[in-house]
Amino acid sequence: MKNRTHKLSRRQFLQRSAAIVALTVVPRHVLGGPGQTPPSETVGAALIGCGGRGPGTFKHLQQELNAVMLAQCDVRWLDRADNKTVYTDFRRVLERKDIDAVAIATPPHWHALISIAAMQAGKDVLCEKPMTRFIAEGRAVAEAEKRYGRIFQIGTFGRFGVSKNPAEILKRKIMKSGLLKNCPGVLVHSGGFKIKQWSGLVNARPEPVPKSLDWGMYCGPAPLRPYHPHRVGGTHRGYWDYEGGGLTDMSQHYFDPVTWTYGKDDTAPVEVEVFAPPAHPEVCGMWGWIELRYADGFTIVCDGREWGPPYERKKARGISLDDLDEESRKKLAAMPDPEPLRSFGEAVRTRKPAGGNAEAAHRTVTILHLANIAIRVGRKIKFDPVKEVIVGDEEANRLVNLPMRAPWHL
């Protein structure tokens, strides 16, 4: 019997070859499929700042991503750093080519510099709130996000909830439409700012630096003050060097959904007035209330409820279709709903901006920085949201772009 020769088409040859490789050589996890994630879809990740918020921040990074922690970094780990998985200098982490994304949970005076360096190194960033320590840092982070084409998400997620609420979507459409020429809206947030809880200590006596802590690296771009344990851990929030009291600790949560709902992701308040006692130059302290007015009249009020008389100057007032005439309502009805917000995981996969991207997060935290500047100088301030400078008050304007301790700089 003669041997028969069969000619295979190129397609048949490739199909048979793939089947043989799949059965005899390639492990199932490499091919992917249900319950299996191929290495090409695994995100190498690191946590920078491993204190109280660290694990939670990294958990958020892992949502919707197959992210594996390859490194951890904390300035309090001098006694356990091994230069393989545990570091005390974030720059060594960013040098690693196997790390694709970082979760940043350091005190806020480090947020901007590490975020910028990470994006410059080709990493995507999930950063804890508040986004920055002062206004100019936020602009630098937003520019870095665009320049390096990376994904940035601030670690607060309230805007994702309101973006699915029909009533909040309607408010945003009204505000973004330009049909409401003079906004009567007043949003009053009362209490929950942890003002007293996150006030700093005045005249605290210096103590020896723990052997496990790199105090110089902890201070970083902030002034090198004498060490005191109250400046480390959660109580760091009580010092202007590192954060801005309970206001910045809590309020990016409170106002991030507000800036989305009321269409303020690309602007900032133009006038800020506060009621507060004289502020200490180094230590965050008490305040009574804060009013922040936008150019269109929309006003945000922070009613502290922990110092001074109750706030009574303005009443809360929402916005609705009743604020538009009939012709404007018809125009509004023809407008599409806003695009759904992307989570960090979806943004990483699609390479499209996350819902809490750097520009949006910067505009929200600017609200808080402006409030603290008005508290620190003790008077009403006016802000140009395009140039991002305080108008007619040089002392206040110096707090928009604070100097950094050498060699650190934006």
Taking the CA atoms of 95, 96, 102 and 103 in sequence, report the sign of the dihedral they define. negative
- What tokens does 360 get? 């949006």
pLDDT tens, position by position, 32-53: 445 545 556 899 999 999 988 8
CA distance linking residue 211 with residue 218, whole number of Å:
13
- pLDDT at site 34: 52
Q: What is the mean pLDDT of residues 130-155?
A: 98
Is pLDDT at 265 greater than 50 in this prediction?
Answer: yes
Give pLDDT, residue 40. 64
Confidence grade of residue 377 (pLDDT, cut at 50, 70, 90): very high
Burial of residue 169 (CB within 10 Å: 0-12, 13-18, 19+) is middle
Residue 97 has pLDDT above 80, yes or no: yes
User: What pLDDT is recorded for position 331?
Assistant: 96
Residues 153-198 pLDDT 10s: 999 999 999 999 999 999 999 999 999 989 999 999 999 999 999 9
What H or E segment, with its residue span, contains residue 131? none
Q: In the predicted model, is pLDDT for residue 5 greater than 50?
A: no
For range 282-310, the mean pLDDT: 97
Assign 31 a pLDDT band (cuts: 50, 70, 90): very low
**Would you place residue 83 in the very low, low, confident or very high pLDDT band (cuts 50, 70, 90)?**
confident
If DSSP codes are grouped into helix, strand and coil, which group holds residue 93?
helix
The structure tokens listed for 53 are: 């918020």
Structural domains in the chain, sorted by start: 39-158 (3.40.50.720), 159-340+353-397 (no CATH)
Q: Which amino acid is present at 104?
A: I
User: Residues 201-227: pLDDT tens digits?
Assistant: 999 999 999 999 999 999 999 999 999
Distant-in-sequence, close-in-space partners of 25: CB < 8 Å, separation ≥ 6: none
What pLDDT is attached to residue 39? Answer: 56
Residue 325: partners with Cβ closer than 8 Å, 6 or more residues away: none
d(CA 377, CA 399): 9
Under DSSP, the state recorded for 343 is P
The answer to whether 264 and 297 are in contact (CB under 8 A) is no
